[in-house]
Structure 1
Protein backbone atom coordinates (compact mmCIF):
# COMPACT_ATOMS: atom_id res chain seq x y z
CA UNK A 1 0.00 0.00 0.00
CA UNK A 2 1.19 3.51 -0.79
CA UNK A 3 0.16 6.74 0.96
CA UNK A 4 1.04 10.01 -0.78
CA UNK A 5 3.70 9.76 -3.50
CA UNK A 6 5.44 6.44 -4.11
CA UNK A 7 8.82 6.61 -2.30
CA UNK A 8 12.12 6.12 -4.12
CA UNK A 9 13.24 2.66 -2.94
CA UNK A 10 16.68 2.72 -4.59
CA UNK A 11 18.49 4.78 -1.95
CA UNK A 12 16.77 3.57 1.24
CA UNK A 13 18.70 3.66 4.52
CA UNK A 14 17.77 2.32 7.93
CA UNK A 15 16.04 4.68 10.35
CA UNK A 16 18.79 4.02 12.89
CA UNK A 17 21.41 5.54 10.54
CA UNK A 18 19.69 8.83 9.68
CA UNK A 19 21.08 10.97 12.52
CA UNK A 20 24.67 9.80 11.90
CA UNK A 21 24.26 10.21 8.11
CA UNK A 22 23.11 13.82 8.57
CA UNK A 23 26.29 14.76 10.42
CA UNK A 24 26.32 18.55 10.76
CA UNK A 25 23.54 19.09 8.21
CA UNK A 26 20.23 20.32 9.61
CA UNK A 27 18.03 19.08 6.73
CA UNK A 28 18.35 16.33 4.14
CA UNK A 29 16.04 14.77 1.57
CA UNK A 30 16.15 10.99 1.88
CA UNK A 31 14.21 7.73 2.03
CA UNK A 32 14.35 5.63 5.19
CA UNK A 33 13.03 2.27 6.30
CA UNK A 34 11.85 1.55 9.82
CA UNK A 35 9.12 0.22 12.07
CA UNK A 36 6.13 2.37 13.01
CA UNK A 37 5.83 2.57 16.80
CA UNK A 38 2.40 4.18 16.79
CA UNK A 39 0.10 6.38 14.75
CA UNK A 40 -0.33 9.46 16.95
CA UNK A 41 -2.91 11.26 14.79
CA UNK A 42 -4.57 9.55 11.82
CA UNK A 43 -5.65 12.77 10.05
CA UNK A 44 -2.56 14.41 8.57
CA UNK A 45 -0.55 11.20 8.89
CA UNK A 46 1.26 11.79 12.21
CA UNK A 47 3.26 8.82 13.47
CA UNK A 48 6.39 7.81 15.36
CA UNK A 49 9.11 5.59 13.93
CA UNK A 50 11.71 3.55 15.81
CA UNK A 51 15.22 4.95 15.17
CA UNK A 52 17.09 2.37 17.27
CA UNK A 53 18.93 2.94 20.57
CA UNK A 54 15.57 3.96 22.15
CA UNK A 55 15.35 6.99 19.81
CA UNK A 56 12.22 8.07 17.98
CA UNK A 57 11.64 9.86 14.68
CA UNK A 58 8.50 11.98 14.81
CA UNK A 59 7.02 11.97 11.30
CA UNK A 60 4.07 13.63 9.60
CA UNK A 61 2.86 14.04 6.03
CA UNK A 62 3.43 17.24 4.11
CA UNK A 63 -0.05 16.74 2.62
CA UNK A 64 -2.55 17.09 5.47
CA UNK A 65 -5.25 15.26 3.46
CA UNK A 66 -3.55 11.89 4.11
CA UNK A 67 -5.23 9.66 6.71
CA UNK A 68 -3.24 6.74 8.12
CA UNK A 69 -4.90 3.67 9.64
CA UNK A 70 -4.05 2.78 13.27
CA UNK A 71 -3.24 -0.76 12.01
CA UNK A 72 0.04 0.62 10.65
CA UNK A 73 1.51 0.23 14.16
CA UNK A 74 4.23 -2.44 14.21
CA UNK A 75 4.59 -2.55 10.41
CA UNK A 76 7.83 -1.85 8.55
CA UNK A 77 7.50 1.08 6.17
CA UNK A 78 9.63 3.04 3.71
CA UNK A 79 9.15 6.81 3.88
CA UNK A 80 10.47 9.48 1.54
CA UNK A 81 10.82 13.16 2.44
CA UNK A 82 12.78 15.71 4.44
CA UNK A 83 14.58 14.83 7.69
CA UNK A 84 15.34 17.69 10.10
CA UNK A 85 17.35 17.86 13.30
CA UNK A 86 15.81 19.53 16.34
CA UNK A 87 17.93 21.90 18.38
CA UNK A 88 17.46 22.73 22.05
CA UNK A 89 17.99 26.43 22.67
CA UNK A 90 19.59 27.65 25.91
CA UNK A 91 17.83 30.97 25.59
CA UNK A 92 14.84 31.68 23.45
CA UNK A 93 15.28 34.66 21.20
CA UNK A 94 13.42 37.77 22.19
CA UNK A 95 9.72 37.62 21.72
CA UNK A 96 8.10 40.79 20.39
CA UNK A 97 7.83 43.25 23.28
CA UNK A 98 9.99 41.15 25.63
CA UNK A 99 12.38 43.61 27.28
CA UNK A 100 13.36 41.71 30.46
CA UNK A 101 17.11 41.18 30.77
CA UNK A 102 19.12 39.01 33.11
CA UNK A 103 17.65 35.69 34.24
CA UNK A 104 16.33 33.24 31.72
CA UNK A 105 12.60 33.71 31.39
CA UNK A 106 11.70 30.65 29.36
CA UNK A 107 12.75 27.05 29.35
CA UNK A 108 12.58 24.83 26.31
CA UNK A 109 11.53 21.29 27.10
CA UNK A 110 12.06 18.67 24.43
CA UNK A 111 12.08 14.93 24.63
CA UNK A 112 15.75 13.84 24.33
CA UNK A 113 14.60 10.74 22.43
CA UNK A 114 13.27 12.89 19.57
CA UNK A 115 16.16 14.57 17.84
CA UNK A 116 14.98 14.08 14.26
CA UNK A 117 11.64 14.95 12.68
CA UNK A 118 10.54 13.83 9.24
CA UNK A 119 8.20 15.53 6.78
CA UNK A 120 6.87 12.66 4.67
CA UNK A 121 6.00 12.98 0.97
CA UNK A 122 5.29 9.29 0.47
CA UNK A 123 4.96 6.10 2.51
CA UNK A 124 5.14 2.50 1.30
CA UNK A 125 4.07 -0.32 3.60
CA UNK A 126 6.86 -2.90 3.25
CA UNK A 127 6.03 -5.75 5.69
Structure 2
Protein backbone atom coordinates (compact mmCIF):
# COMPACT_ATOMS: atom_id res chain seq x y z
CA UNK A 1 0.00 0.00 0.00
CA UNK A 2 2.83 2.37 0.87
CA UNK A 3 4.59 1.64 -2.43
CA UNK A 4 1.41 2.21 -4.42
CA UNK A 5 0.93 5.57 -2.72
CA UNK A 6 4.55 6.59 -3.52
CA UNK A 7 4.20 5.52 -7.15
CA UNK A 8 1.03 7.58 -7.57
CA UNK A 9 2.76 10.65 -6.12
CA UNK A 10 5.78 10.07 -8.37
CA UNK A 11 3.67 9.86 -11.55
CA UNK A 12 1.61 12.92 -10.60
CA UNK A 13 4.79 14.95 -10.09
CA UNK A 14 6.19 13.69 -13.37
CA UNK A 15 3.13 14.88 -15.32
CA UNK A 16 3.17 18.27 -13.58
CA UNK A 17 6.81 18.86 -14.54
CA UNK A 18 6.15 17.75 -18.11
CA UNK A 19 3.40 20.35 -18.53
CA UNK A 20 5.58 23.31 -17.53
CA UNK A 21 7.99 23.07 -20.48
CA UNK A 22 5.93 22.41 -23.57
CA UNK A 23 8.03 23.14 -26.66
CA UNK A 24 6.61 25.26 -29.45
CA UNK A 25 6.49 22.93 -32.45
CA UNK A 26 7.04 24.06 -36.02
CA UNK A 27 3.69 25.09 -37.52
CA UNK A 28 1.95 26.06 -34.26
CA UNK A 29 -0.63 28.74 -35.11
CA UNK A 30 -1.94 31.64 -33.02
CA UNK A 31 -4.97 33.45 -34.42
CA UNK A 32 -5.60 32.84 -38.13
CA UNK A 33 -3.18 30.74 -40.20
CA UNK A 34 -1.02 33.23 -42.17
CA UNK A 35 -0.92 33.22 -45.97
CA UNK A 36 2.71 32.55 -46.92
CA UNK A 37 2.51 33.08 -50.69
CA UNK A 38 3.91 36.65 -50.65
CA UNK A 39 6.11 36.51 -47.56
CA UNK A 40 8.69 39.25 -46.91
CA UNK A 41 11.66 39.22 -44.54
CA UNK A 42 11.20 41.56 -41.55
CA UNK A 43 14.35 43.48 -42.48
CA UNK A 44 12.90 44.36 -45.92
CA UNK A 45 9.42 45.52 -44.87
CA UNK A 46 10.29 49.21 -44.53
CA UNK A 47 11.91 49.25 -47.98
CA UNK A 48 8.89 47.44 -49.43
CA UNK A 49 6.55 50.08 -48.02
CA UNK A 50 8.33 52.96 -49.75
CA UNK A 51 6.22 56.06 -49.19
CA UNK A 52 3.11 54.14 -48.15
CA UNK A 53 2.10 54.46 -44.52
CA UNK A 54 0.21 51.13 -44.25
CA UNK A 55 0.35 47.83 -46.12
CA UNK A 56 -1.14 44.36 -45.71
CA UNK A 57 1.66 41.81 -45.76
CA UNK A 58 3.10 38.61 -44.34
CA UNK A 59 6.49 38.92 -42.68
CA UNK A 60 9.02 36.41 -41.40
CA UNK A 61 11.19 37.48 -38.51
CA UNK A 62 12.92 36.64 -35.26
CA UNK A 63 11.08 37.41 -31.98
CA UNK A 64 13.41 39.37 -29.72
CA UNK A 65 11.05 39.89 -26.80
CA UNK A 66 7.55 38.96 -25.63
CA UNK A 67 6.35 42.19 -24.04
CA UNK A 68 2.92 41.05 -22.85
CA UNK A 69 1.45 37.58 -23.25
CA UNK A 70 -2.22 38.58 -23.08
CA UNK A 71 -3.10 40.33 -26.32
CA UNK A 72 0.02 38.98 -28.00
CA UNK A 73 2.46 41.89 -27.65
CA UNK A 74 5.97 41.14 -28.90
CA UNK A 75 8.91 42.64 -30.78
CA UNK A 76 10.49 41.47 -34.04
CA UNK A 77 14.05 42.10 -35.17
CA UNK A 78 14.02 44.27 -38.31
CA UNK A 79 17.79 44.24 -38.88
CA UNK A 80 20.35 47.04 -38.44
CA UNK A 81 19.28 47.51 -34.81
CA UNK A 82 15.66 48.30 -35.70
CA UNK A 83 12.65 46.78 -33.98
CA UNK A 84 9.10 46.12 -35.19
CA UNK A 85 6.60 46.42 -32.34
CA UNK A 86 3.85 43.86 -32.99
CA UNK A 87 0.56 43.00 -31.33
CA UNK A 88 -2.48 40.93 -32.19
CA UNK A 89 -5.61 42.56 -33.54
CA UNK A 90 -7.68 40.41 -31.19
CA UNK A 91 -6.92 40.90 -27.49
CA UNK A 92 -8.25 37.42 -26.65
CA UNK A 93 -5.12 35.72 -28.02
CA UNK A 94 -2.44 34.76 -25.51
CA UNK A 95 1.05 33.89 -26.68
CA UNK A 96 3.64 31.97 -24.62
CA UNK A 97 6.80 33.62 -23.29
CA UNK A 98 8.75 30.77 -24.96
CA UNK A 99 8.16 32.52 -28.29
CA UNK A 100 11.26 34.62 -27.58
CA UNK A 101 14.11 33.54 -29.83
CA UNK A 102 11.85 31.77 -32.34
CA UNK A 103 11.45 32.63 -36.01
CA UNK A 104 7.79 33.33 -36.79
CA UNK A 105 5.62 34.09 -39.81
CA UNK A 106 3.02 36.77 -39.14
CA UNK A 107 0.27 38.16 -41.36
CA UNK A 108 -1.20 41.58 -40.72
CA UNK A 109 -0.91 45.32 -41.30
CA UNK A 110 2.48 47.05 -41.18
CA UNK A 111 2.30 50.74 -40.35
CA UNK A 112 4.95 53.47 -40.26
CA UNK A 113 5.02 55.83 -37.32
CA UNK A 114 5.27 59.46 -38.31
CA UNK A 115 8.30 61.40 -37.17
CA UNK A 116 7.55 64.57 -35.25
CA UNK A 117 9.88 66.62 -37.42
CA UNK A 118 8.03 65.66 -40.61
CA UNK A 119 5.44 68.33 -39.72
CA UNK A 120 2.62 65.81 -40.06
CA UNK A 121 -0.60 66.72 -38.30
CA UNK A 122 -1.20 63.09 -37.27
CA UNK A 123 2.27 62.56 -35.81
CA UNK A 124 0.96 61.59 -32.38
CA UNK A 125 4.25 62.29 -30.66
CA UNK A 126 4.52 65.99 -31.40
CA UNK A 127 5.48 68.57 -28.82
CA UNK A 128 4.03 72.06 -28.93
CA UNK A 129 5.89 75.27 -28.25
CA UNK A 130 9.61 75.96 -28.53
CA UNK A 131 10.57 72.27 -28.35
CA UNK A 132 8.36 71.36 -31.31
CA UNK A 133 11.17 70.65 -33.78
CA UNK A 134 13.82 69.55 -31.28
CA UNK A 135 12.09 66.37 -30.09
CA UNK A 136 12.95 63.24 -32.04
CA UNK A 137 11.20 59.89 -31.94
CA UNK A 138 13.21 56.72 -31.51
CA UNK A 139 14.47 55.83 -35.02
CA UNK A 140 14.77 52.18 -34.02
CA UNK A 141 10.99 51.89 -33.51
CA UNK A 142 9.55 53.22 -36.73
CA UNK A 143 7.26 50.30 -37.64
CA UNK A 144 4.30 48.74 -35.87
CA UNK A 145 2.60 45.55 -36.95
CA UNK A 146 -0.98 44.54 -36.19
CA UNK A 147 -1.06 40.73 -36.42
CA UNK A 148 -4.05 38.74 -37.65
CA UNK A 149 -2.29 35.37 -37.52
CA UNK A 150 1.06 33.99 -36.44
CA UNK A 151 2.80 30.68 -37.12
CA UNK A 152 5.98 29.37 -35.48
CA UNK A 153 8.51 28.63 -38.24
CA UNK A 154 11.65 27.56 -36.36
Q: What are the ranges of 5 or more consecutive residues in structure 2 without an aligned counterpart?
A: 1-27, 122-127
Contact 2:116 2:136 in 1 (8 A): no
Q: 1:80 aligns with which of 103, 107, 128?
A: 107
Q: 2:93 aligns with which of 50, 63, 66?
A: 66
- Report which of the two has the higher share of helix: 2
Which residue is 2:138 aligned to? 111
User: What is the CA–CA distance in structure 1 between the aligned matches of 2:89 and 2:35, rounded to whole Å?
Assistant: 16
Q: TM-score, normalised by structure 2?
A: 0.72
- How many residue pairs are counted as aligned between the two chains? 120
Q: 2:75 aligns with which of 26, 48, 53?
A: 48
* CA 87–126 in structure 1, closer or farther in 2 if over 3 Å, else same: same
User: What is the CA–CA distance in structure 2 between the aligned matches of 1:51 and 1:36, rounded to whole Å?
Assistant: 10
Looking at CA atoms only, which structure, 1 or 2, has the larger radius of gyration? 2
CA RMSD of aligned residues (A): 2.0
Q: What are the ranges of 5 or more consecutive residues in structure 1 without an aligned counterpart?
A: 94-100
User: What is the CA–CA distance in structure 1 between the aligned matches of 2:147 and 2:91, rounded to whole Å?
Assistant: 10
Q: 2:147 aligns with which of 110, 120, 123?
A: 120
3-state SS in 2 of match to 1:32: strand
3-state SS in 2 of match to 1:114: coil
- Report which of the two has the higher share of strand: 1
- The structure showing larger relative contact order (alpha-carbon pairs under 8 Å, at least 6 residues apart) is 1
